[in-house]
Amino acid sequence: MIRIASILTLLCTSIVAQSPPSSLPPTDPGIFTAQASIIIDAPIEAVWAILLDFPKYPQWNPFVRSQTVTNTLWIPTEDQVAYENFRLIIQAQIPPLTPPVNENTPPNPFHAQTAFENITKIDAVNHQAFWRSIMLPQEILDSERMQVLSVVGVGKTYYEAREVFKGPASYVVDALFAEGLQKGFSAQAVALKARAEM
Ligand SMILES: *[C@@H]1O[C@H](CO)[C@@H](O)[C@H](O)[C@H]1NC(C)=O
């Protein structure tokens, strides 16, 4: 009897702990991966709007402190709307700042990193936003940050982010930044949830 009860408890716990089905496309493992996922108590369109409102990132994001949309000549655009094949200049803190942050939180200059990316996918129907590092040739460093949203209940959204690092330079990124990047992905997911549930 006790045994059956504990087996039942175990079963229930594992059902509750199960994550929703993933909407991320399958990727090969690469050299290393940074990823995060979180369930947010806010409607998908509200979360999507926060995710794409880059000018407001400094107000809440402890990892990506600023993200500027530019044209292909690296000149910032007037409207800062994300379009495929536009570029991004990302100022990140790796590891992230200690949350909560706002637009006045000073950066840690020792942890400041700049990334140059190409916006590879903005799908407002399926709520998918991807950008790929173009600092180095793809044969040297191949990494694409994928962020997707899906509905997991009335007014509930599942946020998933993943970036697989491939190519020989990934070993260097792995050694220097893997732990900090993973902390950044986790911190951004938690901060996005806090922002959306405000
Ligand atoms: C940027 O991404 C777009 C959309 O995926 C693609 O068509 C274009 O070739 C990419 N440009 C560069 C420089 O990687």
What average pLDDT does range 125-145 have in this prediction?
A: 97
* Tokens 């599942």, located at residue: 158
Measure the CA–CA gap between 113 and 180, rounded to whole angstroms: 11
Q: 71, 85, 140: which to mutate for ligand 1, most atoms within 8 A of CB?
A: 85
Structure confidence at residue 9 as a pLDDT band (50, 70, 90) = low
CA–centroid distance, 115 to ligand 1, in Å, is 16
For residue 49 the two structure tokens come to 């709007």
3-state secondary structure of 48: helix
For residue 163 the two structure tokens come to 């970036």
Say whether pLDDT at 12 is over 90. no
Measure the CA–CA gap between 104 and 58, rounded to whole angstroms: 8
Q: Specify which residues 198 forms β-bridges with.
A: none
CA–centroid distance, 85 to ligand 1, in Å, is 5
Q: In one letter, which amino acid is 129?
A: A
Q: What is the pLDDT of residues 172-181, one digit of tens each?
A: 999 999 999 9
CA–centroid distance, 155 to ligand 1, in Å, is 34
**Phi, psi (rounded to 5 degrees) for 83:** -125, 150
Q: What is the pLDDT of residues 33-46, one digit of tens each?
A: 999 999 999 999 99
Which atom of ligand 1 approaches the CA of 84 most closely? 4
Q: What is the pLDDT of residues 139-161, one digit of tens each?
A: 999 999 999 999 999 999 999 99
Handedness of CA 133, 138, 140, 141 (dihedral sign): positive
Measure the CA–CA gap between 96 and 135, rounded to whole angstroms: 21
Structure confidence at residue 7 as a pLDDT band (50, 70, 90) = low
